[in-house]
Structure 1
């Protein structure tokens, strides 16, 4: 395919699924360290806690580096498709460095480089997706792209852990290298260039950031993800130490949660364009109720597992509505989308930190669930001013 994308297409082009595969690859790379912790700790002779920092470094790279890279690319006037190829090239370098890492310091550098480029890839990918369809299909198209994010924890991360068990941790990282190279080879001839006039320059992108409605949308997104990960980050400990689930059941529950996020993402994607604010409002009410129910009776296995699955159906699954709202209140350029990714990543880190702080202060393992419920309520309140003016936003 060599022609330009005509903005306002009435159908979602097939190459959007390639963007979904790219997001799947990036998300797998981000979280697969969780399944490789013992192997990496032994290989680099460091604590498991330090290996956990490799996930944090990736997230920090996304949060702070992504928008800066996008701003540089806009300043240089690099077209979005070319920018995606360049970013995947740098991600390939970071992945290769990780696979060959002789020390923890080199691995930390590689993970940071991966994180910086991945946030920018998210932003460019969502922009290419938004430019390819009519405005009323952007939420649905985004849900297809973000399906890669939902599927990665269910398929990609366990696959990386299995490869680690069979062939060692380097093989898992070399798999990421190979898949990244394949993505680059396929993206070039498959994804068309946007139609002339759709590219946004740095000045226009910065001008969009003065939009107060955009920052309100960002706040809602950060609170949704913060609420979800305040609970999710500690759910294994809660299920085993408080609920009393057998450790062998945890992978099954987590897999069911992953399936719930995929289903929720597809449902929200269908509704997000026409009912953006109502979907976010109802989703936050359900999310807060599920978190509060889990927190109120964490010792009841049936209630706890059911509430956890409902968190999967809402929570992260509200991403298409979050993206649709941002794309509605501002031009969906790469800087706007990349910064949205950074805010979401920041919300994840904030919710996880706040939950850990509550545990450290002696409020118990169930405390992060109450914190998640509180953040969900704040997310609902963040919708109130806009909801009062226009329920159809």
Structure 2
């Protein structure tokens, strides 16, 4: 495995802790900065806003050599989390979270191009899977470890951990990543020209709806597992590690399959599988073993869909590859927020705590349709 890909994986590992780690320490952070839980929730939103704002900023950095761009993004991640670790109050922490989110989409967008350039012939999707695998591993080990350490010392430790791994990413890219030529500059308008085609919109739609089908349920996994399935709050540590393991397996397996078959076809079948799995999660929510097996499969699908499409968008975003790749992360984060709201509305309307899993099925259907349309229209061109 190329060392530069390992450095990229360390970067996404740090981003995984930065994005998902807040959920495990939110109460401690709220207490530490003197706000209530509802107000502390803005720290999650601030990060997502940073992701959405930062991705289009790639347009201004399109002329930077890829190595210099990746080093800059790694540095911003480190700086944002260093400020968060030392934040004296809530508003400083909000600003730090926003800054930390700015490089997120750009790192994935530019990183996908780096992977496609560095990958051996016919192994582009696998290379992107290695990069995204860092985020999957973060959910297995990084987030639980950061939460554990923060509980022992301070909530600030979680941000310090992200900063350390970001510095390691910077050092790894500095030493191992070769110089790569800048992509041809097509001007500002040229960066958006790829959006005139239908393929990018089908890819974004596949990400949005395919992952929304899972996120409707995943956003409420803790109350479902404890309130319906019967696990204790203490059990949730290893339950979430199992979910994270599913992400790792799904990401690795789909990356290999996408290099062997058409990426859009692989992702389409994964979305179809979720049309079956999500209702099963709902109907089996009262049984522990089936719930665990189905949770593993759903988590595998979540990252199984995202990885190949992150690679595929680069091939359909000619002239705006970095913006196209960053757009996947925008779709991912907007899907996360949207599906959480839909799942919450189902619960509030009296459909039951487990109902978000049932609501996720129709979204998976829409995602599957869009991905099969992508294969139908562009499969002969390598979609």
The TM-score range, normalised by the shorter chain, is: over 0.9
Equivalent of 1:383 in 365, 371, 376: 371
* Aligned positions of 1:42-191 closer than 5 A: 42-63=31-52, 65-74=53-62, 77-133=63-119, 136-191=122-177
Superposition TM-score, scaled by structure 1 size: 0.90
Q: What corresponds to 1:8 in structure 2?
A: none
Distance 1:135 1:335, change over 3 A: farther
Confirm or deny: 8 A CA contact 2:228 2:353 kept in the other structure.
yes
Distance 1:53 1:306, change over 3 A: same
1:197, 1:278 → 2: CA distance?
Answer: 28
RMSD across aligned C-alpha pairs, in angstroms? 2.0
CA offset digits 1:192-215 (Å, max 9, x no partner): 111465677544322222222111
Alpha-carbon deviation of 1:353?
Answer: 1.3
CA offset digits 1:133-162 (Å, max 9, x no partner): 356321111000000010111111111112
Structure 2 unmatched ranges of 5 or more: none
- After superposing the two structures, state which structure 1 stretch, 119-128 or 301-310, moved more: 301-310
CA offset digits 1:247-277 (Å, max 9, x no partner): 3332222211211211111111101123212
1:91 match: secondary structure: helix
Q: What corresponds to 1:257 in structure 2?
A: 243
Match status 1:295 vs 2:282: yes
Distance 1:196 1:127, change over 3 A: closer
2:268, 2:159 → 1: CA distance?
Answer: 40
Equivalent of 1:212 in 198, 202, 207: 198
1:199, 1:193 → 2: CA distance?
Answer: 17
- After superposing the two structures, state which structure 1 stretch, 300-309 or 27-36, moved more: 300-309
2:102, 2:243 → 1: CA distance?
Answer: 28
Q: What corresponds to 1:365 in structure 2?
A: 353
1:183, 1:277 → 2: CA distance?
Answer: 31
* Aligned positions of 1:259-338 closer than 5 A: 259-275=245-261, 276-331=263-318, 333-338=321-326
Confirm or deny: 8 A CA contact 2:268 2:369 kept in the other structure.
no
Q: What corresponds to 1:19 in structure 2?
A: 8
Confirm or deny: 8 A CA contact 1:127 1:334 kept in the other structure.
yes
2:260 match: secondary structure: coil
Q: What corresponds to 1:243 in structure 2?
A: 229
Confirm or deny: 8 A CA contact 1:226 1:349 kept in the other structure.
no
1:200, 1:182 → 2: CA distance?
Answer: 33
Alpha-carbon deviation of 1:174?
Answer: 2.1
Alpha-carbon deviation of 1:390?
Answer: 5.2
CA offset digits 1:218-257 (Å, max 9, x no partner): 1101112211111101011011112222333322222112
1:245, 1:167 → 2: CA distance?
Answer: 27
1:320, 1:184 → 2: CA distance?
Answer: 23
Distance 1:119 1:387, change over 3 A: closer
Structure 1 unmatched ranges of 5 or more: 1-11
2:123 match: secondary structure: helix
Matched length: 379
1:197, 1:103 → 2: CA distance?
Answer: 42
2:88 match: secondary structure: coil
Confirm or deny: 8 A CA contact 1:224 1:316 kept in the other structure.
no
